[in-house]
Structure 1
Amino acid sequence: MGYVGGGILLIINVLWYMKPEWFFMPGAGFALRASFFSVAVWWAIFTIPLLRNVPEPPAARTGQEGVSALRAGFGRLAHTFRQIARYKQLLLFLVAFWIYNDGIGTIIKMATAYGDEIGIGVTDMTIALVITQFVGIPFSFGFGWLARRLGTKRSILLGIGVYMLISVAGYFMQTATHFYILAFAVGMVQGGTQALSRSLYGAMVPKNQSAEFFGFFSTSSKFAGIAGPLLFGVVSQAAGGSRLSIVSLIVFFIVGGLLLTRVDEQEGIRVAQEENRAAGLA
């Protein structure tokens, strides 16, 4: 649903930018500013059902009311990490996810910069973004079907394998058509790989700690997303261009994939289920 909702607004904004006269706009610059404003309005509108229909639970007293929010926040993260470290398979998966997801995130973040460097036009890159968005809709469902037949971990490994091929193919990219093909390939695996990663993580998380552990999952992945762009930049500076940088990202997929192969998902799920039974939540 996220792909569909975001994709609808993306199509509207792309049309504004490419054909502003169709919408009685004075030019592309105005269309860009209007697009940013439309995103704010979109968020505001679709936040209303959440605010109206989802009750807010009362705030829990933590005993840290006198501590600064920053210090309390990092202290809570450290506490959650110590809790996660008690679950060997969950921790191993989390480290694997940090690594391969950093590669995925870097491809997404640096695609336009790389495309611009090799001469891909703004219009072509915009079209590629739309391709990725809408290809992701059916293939996200497809990955769900695949997980039921191959298993969640194997399906994620398949997605990582495709990302490795994308990294290598990116080195040889020359034309807008090549960019479209790689955008299609990214759309094939982007949503499915990340959704199945969250699903596998959730299956190994005890129910009574799911909110805390998923909060850590989301926050920690942001911190872990620093290494990929850093490697991309360092290699680009050393090589005098970004072609080797895109290939260098394969390191994240190899290391993350190898760690993922060592995750015993059945053991992780068994431990979580034991915790659920002990807490009366089975």
Structure 2
Amino acid sequence: MVSTVEEARLSTRRERTGWYFYDWANSAFQTSVITVFLGPYLTGIAESAAGCDGDACDDAVIHPLGIAIAPGALFPYTVSLSVLLTVFVLPVAGAIADRTPRKKELLALFAYLGAGSTIAMLFLTGDRYLLGAVLFLLANITYGASVVVYNSFLPQIADEEDRDRVSSFGWAWGYLGGGLLLLLNVAAVLAKDSLGLTTGEVARYSIVSAGLWWAGFTTIPMLALRNRPVADPEDLGARRANAVTDGFRQLWHTLKGLRAYPLTLFFLVAYLIYNDGIQTVISLAALYGTEELKLADSVLVPTILMVQFLAFAGALLMGRLARVYGAWKTILISLVLWTAVVVAAYFLPAGEAVPFLILGGGIGIVLGGSQALSRSLFSQLIPKGKEGEYFGIYEISDRGTSWLGPLAFGLAYDLTRSYRVAIVALLVFFVAGGITLAFVPIRRAIEQAGNTPPARL
């Protein structure tokens, strides 16, 4: 007979579909806001506040909180500050998620706060650069916190044998949703004259559309997902009353408790290394295309769109490979392919669009699968009842360390003045991360966490 706790863990197809739709909802923020529109738009607002006249911005400064900085540095500094803050926020958010029986409501809180902050960028006009920075900080931090809570549902809605497929479907839906809204926004940019709008106005409305998309589609998982009892129901009333303070306390216990699961920590180190390479390639591919390959936006933007839609197919394809060969082996295969992508990037000819498009296709195929399977594999390495707090630490490995790759890229360029050398310098992340992952005894790591390994690893 199925126990009450086990019965509460069972999920339906409807619930899983609802879970997929949160990836569809929040990916609009990642693609339309962070990747494409907000950086240039917020920089333009800052330059306007600094009194820039055309290209004469070399000596211009703005003074957020009394600190003099160049207008062009505002967005990178804001991103860096948000990453720093998430290092403290995300594990606490995860610990709270594990200590409350109302996890779905916690997801709604973070999601709607992030979406609301994005929608509020409708008022980001004139010289209100500080408003834009504050709204982005709030949106990006709550976005990360919502993803932590969202990921913590995965072990509850899919068993060990089905988790790779479910995680891959989630990533695939995310790339499809984010790509679809970006396609609509790019179409609006191309039609701006007939719409009677400036480029800046289209960018602002595109940012707001991502918030509306995020909020609107979040309604689907809110209707489909259901809460489950906490793993340890003792003293539940005190847990409800002290969820936040207990969250900070539990964070400290989690960090100390990782010593009891050294193989889980071993995997996190491997993920930290290779994922930093992945994030750097994604974030700097456009820079490489513009500065080194001398390609126009008419090539770069369609390539970004293509990557989104191919990542949808790639996540599903690699999810199928994982069912045959296992997630661990499939991730290792993806890292070999990532290595080939970086080597190919070094040899791309300047001024030719087709080779760059082919390279973008390669990135799209391996991008979704490597991330989706890393998530599902990590979910096997988490002690039951601690999904939220461990995924909080996992998300830090995704966000809080993503400065290492850009730093290596920047140093390589600074020393050689060659973007080709800079891009090939990223090989170390895929090679070192792959070797580290290959030495993780995955079956023993899963058993060490108290879980049952799937048939194929």
Which of the five TM-score ranges fits, normalised by the shorter chain? 0.7 to 0.9
Tell me the secondary structure at the aligned position of residue 386 of structure 2. helix
Report the AA paired with residue 290 of structure 2: D
Match of 1:225 among 402, 409, 429: 402
1:128 and 2:128 aligned: no
Counterpart contact for 1:92–1:263, Cα < 8 Å: yes
Name the amino acid aligned to 1:179. F
Equivalence for 1:17? 189
Deviation at 1:222, TM superposition (A): 1.3
Task: Say which of 87, 109, 112 aligns to 2:261.
Answer: 87
Residues 64/126 of structure 1: CA separation in 2 closer, same or farther (3 Å cut) = closer
Change (3 A) 1:50 1:98: same
The answer to whether the Cα contact below 8 Å between 1:156 and 1:196 also exists between their aligned partners in 2 is yes
Give the % identical residues: 34
Contact 1:90 1:268 in 2 (8 A): yes
Describe the shift of the 1:155–1:120 C-alpha distance in structure 2 as closer, same or farther (beyond 3 A): same
Secondary structure of the corresponding residue to residue 211 of structure 1: helix
TM-score normalised by the chain length of structure 1: 0.87
Aligned counterpart, 1:36: 207
Q: Which letter maps to 2:379? A: G
How many angstroms does 1:216 deviate by?
1.3
Matches within 5 A, 1:168-247: 168-173=343-348, 174=350, 175-247=352-424
**1:69-118 CA-partner distances (Å, limit 9, x unpaired):** xxx85x65443222223112211111000000000000011111111102
Aligned to 1:273, the other structure's residue is in SS state coil
1:117 pairs with 2:291 = yes
Q: Aligned residue for 2:277?
A: 103
After superposition, what is the alpha-carbon deviation per residue over 1:217-271, rounded to whole angstroms, capped at 9, x for unaligned? 1123212211101111111111113111110000001111000001111111222
Deviation at residue 60 of structure 1 after TM alignment: 3.6
The more displaced of 156-165 and 263-272 is: 263-272
Which residue of structure 1 lines up, in the alignment, with residue 197 of structure 2?
26
Q: Which runs of 5+ in 2 are unaligned?
A: 1-172, 229-236, 453-457
Is the CA contact 1:167–1:250 (under 8 Å) kept in the aligned structure 2?
yes
TM-score, normalization by structure 2 = 0.55
Residues 342, 423 of structure 2: 8 Å contact kept: yes
Moved more, 189-198 or 173-182: 173-182
171-180 or 133-142, which deviates more: 171-180
Amino acid at match of 1:120: L
3-state SS of the aligned residue for 1:207?
Answer: coil
Could you say what the CA RMSD is over the residues aligned between the two structures, in angstroms? Answer: 2.4
Match of 1:159 in 2: 334
